[in-house]
A and B are shown apart, each in its own frame.
Chain A
Amino acid sequence: MMPAGGTKVRIQGLSKSFHTNGHEIRVLENIDLDVRDGELVCILGPSGCGKSTLLNIVGGFLPASSGEVTIDGLPVREPDPRRIFVFQERGVFPWLTVEGNIGFGISGLPPKEKAARIAHYVRLVGLEGFESAYPQELSGGMKQRVEVARALAVNPDVLYLDEPFGALDSITRLVMRSELLRIWEAEKKTILFVTHDIEESCQLADRIVVLSARPGSIRRMVDVDMPHPRDLSSPGYLALRDSILEEIGLAHRI
Protein backbone atom coordinates (compact mmCIF):
# COMPACT_ATOMS: atom_id res chain seq x y z
CA MET A 1 0.00 0.00 0.00
CA MET A 2 1.22 3.43 -0.90
CA PRO A 3 2.14 5.81 1.85
CA ALA A 4 -0.73 8.28 1.65
CA GLY A 5 -0.25 12.01 2.01
CA GLY A 6 -2.67 14.80 2.89
CA THR A 7 -6.13 15.29 1.40
CA LYS A 8 -6.03 15.83 -2.35
CA VAL A 9 -9.68 15.65 -3.41
CA ARG A 10 -12.45 16.56 -1.00
CA ILE A 11 -16.09 15.93 -1.85
CA GLN A 12 -18.55 17.51 0.57
CA GLY A 13 -22.31 17.07 0.73
CA LEU A 14 -22.49 16.49 -3.00
CA SER A 15 -25.90 15.87 -4.59
CA LYS A 16 -26.98 15.81 -8.21
CA SER A 17 -30.30 15.58 -9.96
CA PHE A 18 -31.22 15.75 -13.63
CA HIS A 19 -34.35 17.20 -15.12
CA THR A 20 -35.77 15.33 -18.05
CA ASN A 21 -39.19 16.06 -19.50
CA GLY A 22 -40.26 17.77 -16.34
CA HIS A 23 -39.23 14.88 -14.10
CA GLU A 24 -36.55 15.31 -11.54
CA ILE A 25 -34.25 12.31 -11.20
CA ARG A 26 -32.03 12.25 -8.15
CA VAL A 27 -28.81 10.61 -9.13
CA LEU A 28 -26.45 11.30 -6.23
CA GLU A 29 -27.28 12.05 -2.65
CA ASN A 30 -25.08 13.65 -0.08
CA ILE A 31 -21.70 12.21 -0.96
CA ASP A 32 -18.79 12.94 1.40
CA LEU A 33 -15.40 11.60 0.45
CA ASP A 34 -11.80 12.61 1.05
CA VAL A 35 -9.14 11.17 -1.22
CA ARG A 36 -5.56 11.38 0.02
CA ASP A 37 -2.68 12.40 -2.20
CA GLY A 38 -1.34 9.35 -4.01
CA GLU A 39 -4.26 7.17 -3.05
CA LEU A 40 -6.01 4.77 -5.44
CA VAL A 41 -9.71 4.83 -4.66
CA CYS A 42 -12.21 2.61 -6.45
CA ILE A 43 -15.80 3.78 -6.62
CA LEU A 44 -17.87 0.64 -6.93
CA GLY A 45 -21.54 0.42 -7.67
CA PRO A 46 -24.19 -1.16 -9.86
CA SER A 47 -24.96 0.22 -13.32
CA GLY A 48 -26.88 3.45 -13.21
CA CYS A 49 -26.00 4.28 -9.60
CA GLY A 50 -24.48 7.59 -10.61
CA LYS A 51 -20.84 6.70 -10.17
CA SER A 52 -19.90 8.06 -13.59
CA THR A 53 -21.86 11.21 -12.83
CA LEU A 54 -19.88 11.57 -9.63
CA LEU A 55 -16.62 11.27 -11.53
CA ASN A 56 -17.81 13.77 -14.16
CA ILE A 57 -18.64 16.28 -11.44
CA VAL A 58 -15.28 15.79 -9.76
CA GLY A 59 -13.64 16.21 -13.18
CA GLY A 60 -15.45 19.51 -13.71
CA PHE A 61 -17.53 18.36 -16.68
CA LEU A 62 -20.85 18.60 -14.89
CA PRO A 63 -22.05 21.02 -12.24
CA ALA A 64 -23.19 19.67 -8.89
CA SER A 65 -26.76 20.42 -7.80
CA SER A 66 -25.53 21.05 -4.29
CA GLY A 67 -22.35 20.48 -2.34
CA GLU A 68 -18.82 21.09 -3.42
CA VAL A 69 -15.68 19.45 -4.75
CA THR A 70 -12.31 20.93 -3.85
CA ILE A 71 -8.89 19.85 -5.01
CA ASP A 72 -5.90 21.09 -3.02
CA GLY A 73 -8.39 23.31 -1.23
CA LEU A 74 -9.66 25.03 -4.42
CA PRO A 75 -13.19 24.46 -5.71
CA VAL A 76 -13.50 22.67 -9.05
CA ARG A 77 -15.30 24.75 -11.67
CA GLU A 78 -14.09 23.33 -14.95
CA PRO A 79 -11.78 20.67 -16.34
CA ASP A 80 -8.10 21.23 -15.77
CA PRO A 81 -5.07 19.68 -17.49
CA ARG A 82 -3.56 18.84 -14.11
CA ARG A 83 -6.30 16.28 -13.70
CA ILE A 84 -7.02 14.09 -16.68
CA PHE A 85 -10.15 12.06 -17.27
CA VAL A 86 -9.73 8.78 -19.11
CA PHE A 87 -12.93 7.89 -20.98
CA GLN A 88 -12.99 4.20 -21.84
CA GLU A 89 -11.41 4.09 -25.28
CA ARG A 90 -13.94 6.40 -26.85
CA GLY A 91 -12.03 9.52 -25.96
CA VAL A 92 -9.21 8.74 -28.41
CA PHE A 93 -9.37 11.22 -31.29
CA PRO A 94 -9.98 9.20 -34.46
CA TRP A 95 -8.38 11.85 -36.66
CA LEU A 96 -4.99 11.70 -34.93
CA THR A 97 -2.38 8.94 -35.02
CA VAL A 98 -1.16 7.21 -31.86
CA GLU A 99 1.65 9.77 -31.63
CA GLY A 100 -0.70 12.63 -32.35
CA ASN A 101 -3.06 11.50 -29.61
CA ILE A 102 -0.36 10.99 -27.02
CA GLY A 103 1.16 14.37 -27.86
CA PHE A 104 -2.21 16.15 -27.80
CA GLY A 105 -1.85 17.74 -24.38
CA ILE A 106 1.82 18.70 -24.70
CA SER A 107 1.76 20.73 -27.89
CA GLY A 108 3.38 23.62 -26.08
CA LEU A 109 6.64 21.75 -25.48
CA PRO A 110 9.70 22.20 -27.72
CA PRO A 111 9.54 19.59 -30.51
CA LYS A 112 12.50 17.58 -29.26
CA GLU A 113 11.20 17.27 -25.75
CA LYS A 114 7.74 16.52 -27.02
CA ALA A 115 9.04 13.72 -29.24
CA ALA A 116 11.02 12.27 -26.35
CA ARG A 117 8.00 12.37 -24.06
CA ILE A 118 5.80 10.73 -26.68
CA ALA A 119 8.40 8.02 -27.27
CA HIS A 120 8.62 7.41 -23.52
CA TYR A 121 4.91 6.88 -23.11
CA VAL A 122 4.58 4.85 -26.30
CA ARG A 123 7.10 2.50 -24.73
CA LEU A 124 5.42 2.60 -21.34
CA VAL A 125 2.13 1.35 -22.73
CA GLY A 126 3.80 -1.03 -25.18
CA LEU A 127 2.72 0.51 -28.46
CA GLU A 128 6.11 0.58 -30.19
CA GLY A 129 5.66 0.11 -33.91
CA PHE A 130 2.19 1.65 -33.88
CA GLU A 131 3.25 5.28 -33.57
CA SER A 132 1.74 6.33 -36.88
CA ALA A 133 -1.30 4.06 -36.81
CA TYR A 134 -4.77 5.59 -36.63
CA PRO A 135 -7.12 4.48 -33.82
CA GLN A 136 -9.31 2.77 -36.39
CA GLU A 137 -6.51 0.27 -36.99
CA LEU A 138 -6.07 -0.55 -33.29
CA SER A 139 -7.83 -3.00 -31.04
CA GLY A 140 -9.91 -1.81 -28.10
CA GLY A 141 -7.13 -2.59 -25.66
CA MET A 142 -4.59 -0.64 -27.68
CA LYS A 143 -6.88 2.37 -27.92
CA GLN A 144 -7.37 2.20 -24.20
CA ARG A 145 -3.61 2.28 -23.71
CA VAL A 146 -3.37 5.27 -26.05
CA GLU A 147 -5.82 7.12 -23.81
CA VAL A 148 -3.92 6.27 -20.68
CA ALA A 149 -0.64 7.33 -22.30
CA ARG A 150 -2.21 10.58 -23.51
CA ALA A 151 -3.32 11.30 -19.97
CA LEU A 152 0.03 10.45 -18.41
CA ALA A 153 1.99 12.48 -20.97
CA VAL A 154 0.81 15.77 -19.47
CA ASN A 155 1.98 14.56 -16.07
CA PRO A 156 -1.25 15.20 -14.16
CA ASP A 157 -1.52 14.84 -10.37
CA VAL A 158 -4.87 13.12 -10.56
CA LEU A 159 -6.27 10.56 -12.98
CA TYR A 160 -9.97 9.88 -13.30
CA LEU A 161 -10.69 6.50 -14.81
CA ASP A 162 -14.29 5.77 -15.82
CA GLU A 163 -14.67 2.01 -16.19
CA PRO A 164 -11.57 2.16 -18.31
CA PHE A 165 -11.21 -1.56 -18.89
CA GLY A 166 -14.87 -2.39 -19.33
CA ALA A 167 -14.64 -2.87 -23.07
CA LEU A 168 -11.59 -5.11 -22.99
CA ASP A 169 -11.36 -8.87 -23.19
CA SER A 170 -10.62 -10.56 -19.88
CA ILE A 171 -6.96 -11.27 -20.62
CA THR A 172 -6.16 -7.73 -21.77
CA ARG A 173 -8.07 -6.45 -18.78
CA LEU A 174 -5.82 -8.34 -16.38
CA VAL A 175 -2.73 -7.10 -18.19
CA MET A 176 -4.00 -3.51 -18.12
CA ARG A 177 -4.71 -3.70 -14.40
CA SER A 178 -1.14 -4.68 -13.59
CA GLU A 179 0.10 -2.02 -16.03
CA LEU A 180 -1.96 0.56 -14.20
CA LEU A 181 -0.57 -0.53 -10.84
CA ARG A 182 2.97 -0.41 -12.21
CA ILE A 183 2.44 3.10 -13.59
CA TRP A 184 0.72 4.21 -10.38
CA GLU A 185 3.59 2.96 -8.24
CA ALA A 186 6.16 4.57 -10.53
CA GLU A 187 4.42 7.94 -10.99
CA LYS A 188 2.64 8.43 -7.65
CA LYS A 189 -0.62 9.73 -9.07
CA THR A 190 -3.85 10.09 -7.18
CA ILE A 191 -6.35 7.85 -8.95
CA LEU A 192 -10.14 7.77 -8.80
CA PHE A 193 -11.30 4.62 -10.50
CA VAL A 194 -14.96 3.95 -11.28
CA THR A 195 -15.99 0.35 -11.81
CA HIS A 196 -18.85 -2.06 -11.41
CA ASP A 197 -16.47 -5.01 -11.17
CA ILE A 198 -15.99 -6.22 -7.61
CA GLU A 199 -12.89 -8.26 -8.43
CA GLU A 200 -11.35 -5.28 -10.18
CA SER A 201 -11.84 -3.02 -7.20
CA CYS A 202 -10.44 -5.63 -4.80
CA GLN A 203 -7.38 -6.09 -6.98
CA LEU A 204 -6.56 -2.42 -7.39
CA ALA A 205 -7.82 -0.21 -4.61
CA ASP A 206 -6.35 1.21 -1.43
CA ARG A 207 -9.90 1.96 -0.52
CA ILE A 208 -13.20 0.86 -1.99
CA VAL A 209 -16.20 3.18 -1.87
CA VAL A 210 -19.38 1.15 -2.31
CA LEU A 211 -22.30 3.18 -3.69
CA SER A 212 -25.93 2.19 -3.32
CA ALA A 213 -28.30 2.07 -6.28
CA ARG A 214 -30.00 5.27 -7.45
CA PRO A 215 -29.90 7.74 -5.89
CA GLY A 216 -26.29 6.87 -5.27
CA SER A 217 -25.02 7.42 -1.77
CA ILE A 218 -22.04 6.00 0.04
CA ARG A 219 -23.03 2.71 1.54
CA ARG A 220 -19.74 1.59 2.85
CA MET A 221 -16.04 2.35 2.69
CA VAL A 222 -13.59 -0.50 2.80
CA ASP A 223 -9.90 0.07 3.50
CA VAL A 224 -7.86 -2.55 1.71
CA ASP A 225 -4.75 -3.18 3.70
CA MET A 226 -2.98 -5.50 1.30
CA PRO A 227 0.29 -4.83 -0.48
CA HIS A 228 0.64 -5.18 -4.25
CA PRO A 229 0.99 -7.55 -5.96
CA ARG A 230 -2.01 -9.19 -4.40
CA ASP A 231 -2.44 -12.92 -4.27
CA LEU A 232 -5.87 -13.50 -5.75
CA SER A 233 -6.26 -16.82 -3.95
CA SER A 234 -5.14 -15.70 -0.50
CA PRO A 235 -7.71 -15.98 2.29
CA GLY A 236 -7.50 -12.24 2.95
CA TYR A 237 -8.36 -11.37 -0.66
CA LEU A 238 -11.21 -13.86 -0.80
CA ALA A 239 -12.61 -12.60 2.50
CA LEU A 240 -12.53 -9.04 1.20
CA ARG A 241 -14.26 -9.97 -2.03
CA ASP A 242 -16.92 -11.96 -0.22
CA SER A 243 -17.64 -9.21 2.26
CA ILE A 244 -18.28 -6.81 -0.60
CA LEU A 245 -20.38 -9.33 -2.47
CA GLU A 246 -22.41 -9.67 0.66
CA GLU A 247 -22.65 -5.94 1.11
CA ILE A 248 -24.13 -5.65 -2.35
CA GLY A 249 -26.47 -8.51 -1.54
CA LEU A 250 -25.22 -11.19 -3.87
CA ALA A 251 -24.91 -14.86 -3.12
CA HIS A 252 -21.52 -16.48 -3.02
CA ARG A 253 -22.47 -19.30 -5.26
CA ILE A 254 -23.87 -19.18 -8.72
Chain B
Amino acid sequence: MNATRLDPARPADAPPLEKKPRALEAILLPAVTAGFLVAVWHAAVVLSRTDIFPSPLAVARGLGELASKGVLGTYVRDSLVRVGAGYSLALVLGIPAGIALGWYSGAARAINPVIQLLRPISPLAWIPVAIVLFGVTNSAAIFLIFLASFFPIVVATMNGVRNVPSMFLNAGRNFGLSAPALFSRVIFPAALPRVLTGLRVALGVAWLVVVAAEMIAVNSGLGYLVIDSRNAGKRYDLVIAAMLLIGLIGLALNLLVGQIERLRAVRWGFNVP
Protein backbone atom coordinates (compact mmCIF):
# COMPACT_ATOMS: atom_id res chain seq x y z
CA MET B 1 0.00 0.00 0.00
CA ASN B 2 1.50 3.30 -0.90
CA ALA B 3 0.68 6.90 -1.47
CA THR B 4 0.02 6.83 -5.23
CA ARG B 5 -2.43 3.99 -5.00
CA LEU B 6 -4.42 5.51 -2.19
CA ASP B 7 -6.55 7.53 -4.45
CA PRO B 8 -5.54 7.41 -8.06
CA ALA B 9 -8.32 9.75 -9.11
CA ARG B 10 -7.05 12.48 -6.89
CA PRO B 11 -5.67 15.41 -8.86
CA ALA B 12 -2.02 16.10 -8.25
CA ASP B 13 -2.71 19.75 -7.65
CA ALA B 14 -5.70 19.57 -5.38
CA PRO B 15 -5.18 21.39 -2.15
CA PRO B 16 -5.37 18.79 0.59
CA LEU B 17 -8.86 19.62 1.75
CA GLU B 18 -10.52 19.89 -1.65
CA LYS B 19 -12.89 17.23 -2.87
CA LYS B 20 -12.05 15.40 -6.05
CA PRO B 21 -14.05 16.02 -9.23
CA ARG B 22 -17.12 13.84 -9.52
CA ALA B 23 -17.97 11.60 -12.43
CA LEU B 24 -20.83 13.87 -13.48
CA GLU B 25 -18.38 16.69 -14.07
CA ALA B 26 -16.69 14.66 -16.79
CA ILE B 27 -19.82 15.15 -18.88
CA LEU B 28 -21.03 18.44 -17.54
CA LEU B 29 -17.78 20.40 -17.82
CA PRO B 30 -17.12 19.77 -21.52
CA ALA B 31 -20.80 20.31 -22.29
CA VAL B 32 -20.79 23.69 -20.56
CA THR B 33 -17.52 24.67 -22.23
CA ALA B 34 -18.85 23.63 -25.63
CA GLY B 35 -22.03 25.61 -25.01
CA PHE B 36 -20.00 28.63 -24.00
CA LEU B 37 -17.78 28.41 -27.10
CA VAL B 38 -20.81 28.08 -29.38
CA ALA B 39 -22.30 31.16 -27.72
CA VAL B 40 -19.06 33.09 -28.28
CA TRP B 41 -19.02 31.95 -31.90
CA HIS B 42 -22.61 33.09 -32.35
CA ALA B 43 -21.92 36.43 -30.72
CA ALA B 44 -18.81 36.94 -32.86
CA VAL B 45 -20.76 36.28 -36.04
CA VAL B 46 -23.56 38.61 -35.00
CA LEU B 47 -21.30 41.40 -33.80
CA SER B 48 -18.94 41.32 -36.79
CA ARG B 49 -21.95 41.29 -39.18
CA THR B 50 -20.06 38.88 -41.41
CA ASP B 51 -22.10 37.51 -44.25
CA ILE B 52 -19.59 34.82 -45.22
CA PHE B 53 -18.82 33.09 -41.96
CA PRO B 54 -21.82 31.09 -40.77
CA SER B 55 -23.35 31.21 -37.32
CA PRO B 56 -23.89 28.00 -35.34
CA LEU B 57 -27.55 28.17 -36.33
CA ALA B 58 -26.65 28.33 -40.02
CA VAL B 59 -24.43 25.29 -39.58
CA ALA B 60 -27.26 23.42 -37.88
CA ARG B 61 -29.61 24.42 -40.71
CA GLY B 62 -26.99 23.25 -43.21
CA LEU B 63 -26.87 19.88 -41.51
CA GLY B 64 -30.66 19.73 -41.58
CA GLU B 65 -30.64 20.53 -45.27
CA LEU B 66 -28.16 17.75 -46.01
CA ALA B 67 -30.19 15.34 -43.93
CA SER B 68 -33.43 16.20 -45.62
CA LYS B 69 -31.85 15.76 -49.05
CA GLY B 70 -30.77 12.35 -47.86
CA VAL B 71 -27.12 12.86 -48.74
CA LEU B 72 -25.87 13.14 -45.15
CA GLY B 73 -26.21 9.44 -44.39
CA THR B 74 -24.78 8.51 -47.76
CA TYR B 75 -21.73 10.73 -47.30
CA VAL B 76 -21.01 9.42 -43.82
CA ARG B 77 -21.44 5.87 -45.00
CA ASP B 78 -19.21 6.34 -48.06
CA SER B 79 -16.42 7.88 -46.01
CA LEU B 80 -16.65 5.12 -43.44
CA VAL B 81 -16.63 2.45 -46.14
CA ARG B 82 -13.52 3.92 -47.76
CA VAL B 83 -11.73 4.19 -44.44
CA GLY B 84 -12.91 0.72 -43.47
CA ALA B 85 -11.60 -0.79 -46.71
CA GLY B 86 -8.23 0.96 -46.62
CA TYR B 87 -7.75 0.29 -42.94
CA SER B 88 -8.73 -3.38 -43.14
CA LEU B 89 -6.28 -3.88 -45.96
CA ALA B 90 -3.56 -2.21 -43.91
CA LEU B 91 -4.48 -4.46 -40.98
CA VAL B 92 -4.33 -7.65 -43.03
CA LEU B 93 -1.00 -6.79 -44.64
CA GLY B 94 0.56 -4.71 -41.86
CA ILE B 95 0.31 -7.05 -38.90
CA PRO B 96 2.04 -10.03 -40.55
CA ALA B 97 4.68 -7.69 -42.00
CA GLY B 98 5.26 -6.16 -38.56
CA ILE B 99 5.54 -9.56 -36.89
CA ALA B 100 8.07 -10.70 -39.49
CA LEU B 101 10.12 -7.53 -39.10
CA GLY B 102 9.99 -7.76 -35.32
CA TRP B 103 11.21 -11.33 -35.37
CA TYR B 104 13.97 -11.04 -37.97
CA SER B 105 16.02 -8.10 -36.77
CA GLY B 106 18.21 -8.16 -39.88
CA ALA B 107 15.16 -7.61 -42.07
CA ALA B 108 14.06 -4.79 -39.80
CA ARG B 109 17.41 -3.10 -40.16
CA ALA B 110 17.11 -3.24 -43.93
CA ILE B 111 13.49 -2.16 -44.19
CA ASN B 112 13.40 0.46 -41.47
CA PRO B 113 15.18 3.18 -43.49
CA VAL B 114 12.65 2.70 -46.28
CA ILE B 115 9.81 3.18 -43.81
CA GLN B 116 11.51 6.23 -42.32
CA LEU B 117 11.95 7.70 -45.79
CA LEU B 118 8.32 7.17 -46.79
CA ARG B 119 6.85 8.28 -43.46
CA PRO B 120 7.21 12.05 -43.85
CA ILE B 121 5.62 12.05 -47.30
CA SER B 122 2.10 13.43 -47.16
CA PRO B 123 -0.76 11.31 -48.48
CA LEU B 124 -1.45 14.32 -50.71
CA ALA B 125 1.87 13.83 -52.41
CA TRP B 126 0.85 10.26 -53.15
CA ILE B 127 -2.30 11.39 -54.96
CA PRO B 128 -0.59 11.63 -58.36
CA VAL B 129 0.95 8.20 -57.80
CA ALA B 130 -2.39 6.76 -56.73
CA ILE B 131 -4.02 8.15 -59.85
CA VAL B 132 -1.31 6.74 -62.10
CA LEU B 133 -1.70 3.32 -60.48
CA PHE B 134 -5.47 3.17 -60.12
CA GLY B 135 -6.87 5.97 -62.24
CA VAL B 136 -9.47 8.36 -60.92
CA THR B 137 -11.41 5.76 -58.98
CA ASN B 138 -12.59 4.78 -55.57
CA SER B 139 -9.63 2.37 -55.43
CA ALA B 140 -7.21 5.29 -55.60
CA ALA B 141 -8.87 6.84 -52.55
CA ILE B 142 -8.78 3.54 -50.67
CA PHE B 143 -5.13 3.12 -51.64
CA LEU B 144 -4.28 6.46 -50.02
CA ILE B 145 -6.00 5.47 -46.78
CA PHE B 146 -4.29 2.10 -46.87
CA LEU B 147 -0.91 3.72 -47.34
CA ALA B 148 -1.38 6.14 -44.49
CA SER B 149 -2.47 3.52 -41.96
CA PHE B 150 -0.16 0.73 -43.13
CA PHE B 151 3.06 2.21 -41.76
CA PRO B 152 1.94 2.89 -38.20
CA ILE B 153 0.54 -0.63 -37.99
CA VAL B 154 3.78 -2.17 -39.24
CA VAL B 155 5.93 -0.06 -36.92
CA ALA B 156 3.79 -0.71 -33.83
CA THR B 157 3.60 -4.45 -34.47
CA MET B 158 7.32 -4.60 -35.11
CA ASN B 159 8.10 -2.74 -31.88
CA GLY B 160 5.62 -4.86 -29.98
CA VAL B 161 7.24 -8.11 -31.05
CA ARG B 162 10.75 -6.77 -30.66
CA ASN B 163 10.17 -5.55 -27.14
CA VAL B 164 8.77 -8.75 -25.72
CA PRO B 165 11.15 -9.23 -22.78
CA SER B 166 13.55 -12.09 -23.44
CA MET B 167 12.70 -13.32 -19.96
CA PHE B 168 9.24 -14.27 -21.23
CA LEU B 169 10.70 -16.00 -24.27
CA ASN B 170 13.11 -17.95 -22.11
CA ALA B 171 10.35 -18.90 -19.72
CA GLY B 172 8.27 -20.12 -22.66
CA ARG B 173 11.14 -22.17 -24.06
CA ASN B 174 11.82 -23.48 -20.59
CA PHE B 175 8.34 -24.97 -20.56
CA GLY B 176 9.18 -26.67 -23.82
CA LEU B 177 6.92 -24.66 -26.12
CA SER B 178 7.29 -25.32 -29.82
CA ALA B 179 7.73 -22.36 -32.15
CA PRO B 180 4.02 -21.96 -32.98
CA ALA B 181 3.07 -22.39 -29.34
CA LEU B 182 5.72 -19.90 -28.28
CA PHE B 183 4.23 -17.47 -30.72
CA SER B 184 0.60 -17.93 -29.81
CA ARG B 185 1.05 -18.29 -26.05
CA VAL B 186 3.89 -15.88 -25.31
CA ILE B 187 4.80 -13.46 -28.08
CA PHE B 188 1.31 -12.66 -29.27
CA PRO B 189 -0.23 -11.89 -25.85
CA ALA B 190 2.89 -10.03 -24.73
CA ALA B 191 2.96 -7.84 -27.83
CA LEU B 192 -0.79 -7.32 -27.98
CA PRO B 193 -1.20 -4.14 -25.89
CA ARG B 194 1.37 -2.32 -27.95
CA VAL B 195 -0.09 -3.58 -31.21
CA LEU B 196 -3.54 -2.39 -30.15
CA THR B 197 -2.16 1.06 -29.46
CA GLY B 198 -0.70 1.07 -32.94
CA LEU B 199 -4.07 0.01 -34.37
CA ARG B 200 -5.78 2.88 -32.59
CA VAL B 201 -3.24 5.42 -33.81
CA ALA B 202 -3.53 4.01 -37.32
CA LEU B 203 -7.31 4.26 -37.32
CA GLY B 204 -6.96 7.92 -36.31
CA VAL B 205 -4.58 8.48 -39.19
CA ALA B 206 -6.84 6.65 -41.64
CA TRP B 207 -9.75 8.85 -40.69
CA LEU B 208 -7.58 11.95 -40.86
CA VAL B 209 -6.63 11.11 -44.43
CA VAL B 210 -10.20 10.70 -45.64
CA VAL B 211 -10.34 14.32 -46.78
CA ALA B 212 -7.16 13.98 -48.83
CA ALA B 213 -8.41 10.73 -50.31
CA GLU B 214 -11.72 12.25 -51.29
CA MET B 215 -9.97 15.06 -53.13
CA ILE B 216 -9.42 12.49 -55.83
CA ALA B 217 -12.42 13.11 -57.99
CA VAL B 218 -14.89 10.98 -56.11
CA ASN B 219 -18.28 12.59 -55.60
CA SER B 220 -19.38 11.51 -52.18
CA GLY B 221 -18.06 11.44 -48.63
CA LEU B 222 -17.42 13.98 -45.94
CA GLY B 223 -14.07 15.02 -47.40
CA TYR B 224 -15.75 15.60 -50.73
CA LEU B 225 -18.41 17.62 -48.91
CA VAL B 226 -15.78 19.98 -47.47
CA ILE B 227 -14.10 20.58 -50.78
CA ASP B 228 -17.24 20.71 -52.88
CA SER B 229 -19.15 23.02 -50.54
CA ARG B 230 -16.40 25.57 -50.77
CA ASN B 231 -15.68 25.30 -54.47
CA ALA B 232 -19.29 25.21 -55.55
CA GLY B 233 -20.82 28.32 -54.09
CA LYS B 234 -18.79 29.06 -50.96
CA ARG B 235 -21.23 27.27 -48.69
CA TYR B 236 -19.19 27.76 -45.52
CA ASP B 237 -22.05 26.50 -43.37
CA LEU B 238 -21.67 23.12 -45.04
CA VAL B 239 -17.86 23.26 -44.80
CA ILE B 240 -18.09 23.66 -41.04
CA ALA B 241 -20.89 21.13 -40.71
CA ALA B 242 -18.72 18.59 -42.51
CA MET B 243 -15.72 19.44 -40.33
CA LEU B 244 -17.72 18.93 -37.16
CA LEU B 245 -19.03 15.62 -38.43
CA ILE B 246 -15.51 14.48 -39.26
CA GLY B 247 -14.38 15.50 -35.79
CA LEU B 248 -17.23 13.81 -33.97
CA ILE B 249 -16.93 10.59 -35.94
CA GLY B 250 -13.17 10.64 -35.37
CA LEU B 251 -13.74 10.97 -31.63
CA ALA B 252 -16.29 8.16 -31.69
CA LEU B 253 -13.93 5.84 -33.59
CA ASN B 254 -11.18 6.60 -31.12
CA LEU B 255 -13.40 5.85 -28.14
CA LEU B 256 -14.64 2.68 -29.79
CA VAL B 257 -11.18 1.29 -30.36
CA GLY B 258 -10.23 2.54 -26.91
CA GLN B 259 -12.80 0.16 -25.46
CA ILE B 260 -10.77 -2.78 -26.77
CA GLU B 261 -7.88 -1.65 -24.61
CA ARG B 262 -10.07 -2.05 -21.55
CA LEU B 263 -10.58 -5.76 -22.10
CA ARG B 264 -9.21 -7.79 -19.26
CA ALA B 265 -6.72 -9.69 -21.37
CA VAL B 266 -4.80 -6.59 -22.36
CA ARG B 267 -5.52 -4.12 -19.59
CA TRP B 268 -2.26 -5.01 -17.84
CA GLY B 269 -0.37 -3.34 -20.66
CA PHE B 270 -1.97 0.06 -20.26
CA ASN B 271 -0.86 2.25 -17.41
CA VAL B 272 -3.25 5.04 -18.27
CA PRO B 273 -6.73 4.66 -16.79
**CB distance A78 to B2 under 8 Å?**
no
**CB distance A52 to B2 under 8 Å?**
yes
User: Smallest Cβ distance from B71 to chain A, in angstroms?
Assistant: 43
Among candidates A47, A61, A77, A90, residue contacting B1 with C-beta atoms closer than 8 Å: A47
Decide: A18 near B7, CB < 8 A? Known: A47-B1, A88-B2.
yes
The CA-CA distance from A163 to B9 in the complex, in Å, is 23
User: Smallest Cβ distance from B73 to chain A, in angstroms?
Assistant: 38
Q: Considering only CB atoms, which chain B residue lies closest to A21 in the complex? A: B23
Q: Is the interface of B mostly helix, strand, loop or mixed?
A: loop
When distances are taken between beta carbons in the complex, the residues of chain B under 8 Å from A77 are 16-17
Asked if A162 is an interface residue, CB under 8 A from chain B, the answer is yes
**CB distance A87 to B3 under 8 Å?**
yes
Asked if B6 is an interface residue, CB under 8 A from chain A, the answer is yes
Asked if B15 is an interface residue, CB under 8 A from chain A, the answer is yes
When distances are taken between beta carbons in the complex, the residues of chain A under 8 Å from B4 are 90
Decide: A63 near B17, CB < 8 A? Known: A53-B6, A56-B6.
yes
**CB distance B2 to A62 under 8 Å?**
no
Among candidates B1, B6, B9, residue contacting A62 with C-beta atoms closer than 8 Å: B6
Q: Mark B1-41, 1 if CB is under 8 A from A, else 0.
A: 11110110110000111100000000000000000000000
When distances are taken between beta carbons in the complex, the residues of chain B under 8 Å from A88 are 2
**CB distance A162 to B3 under 8 Å?**
yes
A28-87: which residues lie under 8 A (CB-CB) from chain B?
47-48, 51-53, 56, 60-63, 77-79, 87
Interface bracket on B: 10 to 19
The CA-CA distance from A90 to B2 in the complex, in Å, is 10
**CB distance A60 to B2 under 8 Å?**
no
When distances are taken between beta carbons in the complex, the residues of chain A under 8 Å from B16 are 60-63, 77-79
When distances are taken between beta carbons in the complex, the residues of chain A under 8 Å from B18 are 63
Q: Considering only CB atoms, which chain A residue lies closest to B17 in the complex? A: A63
The CA-CA distance from A90 to B7 in the complex, in Å, is 17
Q: Considering only CB atoms, which chain A residue lies closest to B8 in the complex? A: A20
The CA-CA distance from A78 to B14 in the complex, in Å, is 11
Q: Mark B136-174, 1 if CB is under 8 A from A, else 0.
A: 000000000000000000000000000000000000000
Among candidates A18, A63, A162, residue contacting B2 with C-beta atoms closer than 8 Å: A162
The CA-CA distance from A47 to B5 in the complex, in Å, is 13
**CB distance B6 to A52 under 8 Å?**
yes
**CB distance A78 to B15 under 8 Å?**
yes
When distances are taken between beta carbons in the complex, the residues of chain A under 8 Å from B9 are 20
Q: Considering only CB atoms, which chain A residue lies closest to B20 in the complex? A: A19
User: Smallest Cβ distance from B12 to chain A, in angstroms?
Assistant: 11
User: Smallest Cβ distance from B68 to chain A, in angstroms?
Assistant: 43
Q: Considering only CB atoms, which chain A residue lies closest to B7 in the complex? A: A18
User: Smallest Cβ distance from B262 to chain A, in angstroms?
Assistant: 15
**CB distance B1 to A52 under 8 Å?**
yes
User: Smallest Cβ distance from B258 to chain A, in angstroms?
Assistant: 19
Among B6, B9, B10, B18, the most chain A Cβ lie within 10 Å of the Cβ of B6
User: Smallest Cβ distance from B10 to chain A, in angstroms?
Assistant: 8
When distances are taken between beta carbons in the complex, the residues of chain A under 8 Å from B3 are 52, 56, 61, 87, 162
The CA-CA distance from A78 to B16 in the complex, in Å, is 6
The CA-CA distance from A250 to B4 in the complex, in Å, is 30
The CA-CA distance from A78 to B13 in the complex, in Å, is 12
When distances are taken between beta carbons in the complex, the residues of chain B under 8 Å from A51 are 1
Q: Mark A158-193, 1 if CB is under 8 A from B, else 0.
A: 000011000000000000000000000000000000
User: Smallest Cβ distance from A28 to chain B, in angstroms?
Assistant: 12
The CA-CA distance from A151 to B3 in the complex, in Å, is 17
When distances are taken between beta carbons in the complex, the residues of chain A under 8 Å from B2 are 52, 87-88, 90, 162-163
**Which A residues fall within an 8 A CB radius of B?**
18, 20, 47-48, 51-53, 56, 60-63, 77-79, 87-88, 90, 162-163
Beyond A52-B6, A61-B3, 18 extra complex contacts between A and B, CB < 8 Å: A18-B7, A20-B9, A47-B1, A48-B1, A52-B2, A56-B3, A56-B6, A61-B16, A62-B10, A63-B18, A77-B16, A78-B16, A79-B16, A87-B2, A88-B2, A90-B2, A163-B1, A163-B2
**Which B residues fall within an 8 A CB radius of A?**
1-4, 6-7, 9-10, 15-18
A-B pairs, top 7 by smallest CB distance, nearest first, are A63-B17, A52-B1, A78-B16, A63-B16, A60-B16, A56-B3, A87-B3
